[in-house]
Structure 1
Amino acid sequence: MSGLMAAVSGGMQQAGALAVEYSFSILGAIILLIAGFVAAGVVERASYRGLGRVRGFDETLKRFFSKVARYGVLIISIVAVLAQFGVQTASILAALGAAGLAIGLALQGTLQNIAAGIMLLVLRPFRVGEYVDAGSVSGTIVEIGLFATELKSIDGLFVLAPNSELWNSPVTNYSRNAVRRADISIGIGYDDDIDLAQTTLAGLIDGDDRVLAEPAPTTFVGELGDSAVAVTVRYWTKTPDWFQTKLDLTKAAKLAFDARGISIPFPQRDVHLIGQPQAQNA
């Protein structure tokens, strides 16, 4: 009987020691979790404010990197909590690395779009409101996301392009530069006065306030075609005025040529008929 009592007493002492030991571990784990969540929030806000001081840093990237910093602190806190209970953190980190590799392979295309989205937001080949042409995609930028970019085509259609496609294609940005060149080429007849045509085009350009004085406009004969002499006027305008200015000047050139008797010939061919005696000799 006394042996049984001694065993029970020893068991209770061991249980009490384990309870005290694990109670401290649980208390430490709770403290670590609370401290980890608080630190994660502080790091997130500090990262967001710090990136906000960088001039031109995109809002999407600020939120993305601040969230990455937050979850990094939380992962470190959870690993520290597990270490409180004697769990081998090295094996946990190895398992997390293997899981991350598997997830990365499974989401290879998605991660490629994220990486491309980050590069687009950092290097800024285009911004919201600019008209671009990138491979098979063209339109006005509506929103740049981490996975895809939303565009509006010239005829008002919704276009959603993966960031990887935009990043891997040459991008032509029609809105980035402040000024833009335009050429208007009009074919006139071979019998028409070339100097009069050039003078007429130069007068139209000089009378339009949207045409910039520098670089100076110029007119020249660009090509001797099969049916016409191509007279070209080259000028520069501000980028927002480019499209409407070209439309207006093209119409004005047609009306001015008509008023001055300068013809704009249709494509034509000269056909020489060979008579029967000549054909036999040939």
Structure 2
Amino acid sequence: MTALSSSLSRYDAICEVAGADLPHPAQAEIEQLGFSLTTEVLDTFLGSALEDQLPIIMEGLIGGFHSAALRLQREADRAHDDMRRLHRDFDGSEIKDVELQDATLRYNRADAAIMIIEVLRDAACENYTAQTGEVWTPWRGSAKTHTASYAVIEAKDAMKARRVREQGLMDPGTEVVVFRGSPQAKTSLDANRIFDALNWALSQHPAMKLATTGNLGAEQIALKWARDKKVGVVLAKADFERHRRAAPFKANDELLALDPVLVLTLDHSLEGDSDDAFGPAANIAQKARENGLRVMSVTRRK
């Protein structure tokens, strides 16, 4: 087995082992591709007549990547079986040696392809969840998260590295801006003022991440702003199955636990004269003030 250079990333090392004649795409390119593909689909269908069918559409897109990874996995499994058989029956002849090298090459190349498709799938899946709060799960076959790649490196070290990466992705940073808004706040006036507020927040906190529950209406407008501005998103989606009626308020507690630098709220639509406040938005504003956090309400222009 080819030794993996410690100076290479795991992605680059697996690609190097594959020994392909043409270069493999860089990991950042694959992750950007997954992000771009899902962003284009979301931008096209969110707010359209097909918005309700978006989960099915995304299932087809992300599930297609997953299906490709499963097919490649079957190729790798066949090559791996050939390798085991040839190792067992190896007699030192040149023919057996060539067959073993060929099986090893087929396995390594399939392994690299699986890793690349899984990176693409996972990037698409993460972006879909970040932008909508929905979670994609495979309709068949288990999601492998690069398991095949770990056969080429030490498994314990690989799993440790993955945990470190996951913890890094979960780190919201030091400039979290929370936004909670009414599902009824979805008019053009609401959208314009939400954009104004978030643009101001970004000017004050250039490294900001937007934290929200991804609720309908105002918070979906905020997520669209984040997509357009390429601002990172932290989701604390309300878990109604677990917390029932208290779910929106439990989500507020999760958002405040991020220690935000600013809490923005819009508890009713700015269009019309309705004073019916959205309870969870009013609740998080009250809790944030009690905790000494900066709170601002999105209002009409004066």
Q: TM-score, normalised by structure 1?
A: 0.25
Structure number with the higher helix fraction is 2
Structure number with the higher strand fraction is 1
Which structure's CA Rg is the greater one?
1
Q: TM-score, normalised by structure 2?
A: 0.24
